[in-house]
Amino acid sequence: MARHLPLRGVRAADVRPRRGGVGRGSSAAAERVSDDLRLGAGDFLEQRRRLAVLTTVAIGAFAVVGLYQFGVVRRLPEIPGVAFDADRVDASGEAYDLGKTPDAALGLAGAAVTLILTGTGDRDRWRERPWIPLLLGGKVLADAAGAAVLFAEQITKHRRVCSWCTLAAVANAAAVPAAWPEARAAWRAMRAR
C-alpha cells in the first residue's frame, strides 16, 4: 500500500510545542496518527475519512432530534409531504423506552463510539492492530441493522417517517461499504499470523 503524504499541509512534528506548559504531551506515534489522518493517502485512509463524514452527518441528525426530544425546540423542521412527520415519530413512547431516555441521545453516544474507532490508530492499524478495524466493521454493521429496525418501526407503527432519523439511517447504511475493505484486510492480516 502507498505510504506517502501529499506535499501540502501542516505536519505534526513541525508544530510540536516547546517543553513545559499545562496539558497533554505528544509522541511520535501520536504525530503519525495526526499526519496519517489529516495528510495521508492509501492504506484505507480515504475510507476512514468517508466514515468520519458519514458519522458526523448522523451525529448532526441525532442532535437535531435530541433537541426536540429534550424539549429545547417544540417542533422539528420536516420535509413537506404525507410520509414525513418527525414530531409524531420522535415524541412516541418507544423513542424513550430504551434506558428511559431519548433515543437520539443513545444514537449520539453510539455514533461517538463509531467516530472514535474511525480515528483510532495510524495507517497501519489494519496490519498491526487488526482488532480495531474489525471492531469498527462490526460496529457499523450493528449501527446499520439498528437503523433498519428503527426505520421499519416508523413505517409499521406510525405509517410516517422522521426525515432526520432517515438521514441518520442512510448515513449508517452507507458506512458499511466504507468500513468493509479495511476490516477485510485486517481479518486477512490476523489470519496470516
In a domain, 54, yes or no: yes
In a domain, 179, yes or no: yes
The pLDDT of residue 5 is above 80: no
- Cα of 172 vs its chain's centroid, Å: 8
Report the candidate in 53, 63, 45, 186 with the shortest Cα–Cα distance to residue 129: 186
Rg (CA), the chain: 20
| Rounded-to-integer distance, Cα 113 and Cα 102, Å | 18
Report the candidate in 66, 49, 58 with the shortest Cα–Cα distance to residue 169: 58
The pLDDT of residue 126 is above 90: yes
In a domain, 177, yes or no: yes
| Rounded-to-integer distance, Cα 11 and Cα 39, Å | 8
User: Which string of DSSP letters, residue by residue, matches 20-40?
Assistant: -SSS----HHHHHHHHHHHH-
Per the structure, the complete domain to which residue 111 belongs is given by: 46-192
In a domain, 128, yes or no: yes
Query: What is the pLDDT confidence band of residue 25, given thresholds at 50, 70 and 90?
Result: confident
DSSP type of residue 124: T
In a domain, 92, yes or no: yes
In a domain, 133, yes or no: yes
Mean per-residue pLDDT, 162-178: 97
| Rounded-to-integer distance, Cα 32 and Cα 29, Å | 5
Q: Could you tell me the CATH number of the domain that includes residue 80?
A: 1.20.1440.130
| Rounded-to-integer distance, Cα 99 and Cα 113, Å | 18
Q: What is the pLDDT of residue 9?
A: 84
Mean per-residue pLDDT, 163-178: 97
How many independent structural domains does the chain possess? 1
In a domain, 170, yes or no: yes
Alpha helices in 21-124 (DSSP H): 28-39, 45-69, 86-90, 103-119
Query: What is the pLDDT confidence band of residue 20, given thresholds at 50, 70 and 90?
Result: confident
Mean per-residue pLDDT, 145-171: 94
The pLDDT of residue 8 is above 90: no
Mean per-residue pLDDT, 43-65: 97
Mean per-residue pLDDT, 150-177: 95
The pLDDT of residue 1 is above 50: no
Query: What is the pLDDT confidence band of residue 6, given thresholds at 50, 70 and 90?
Result: low
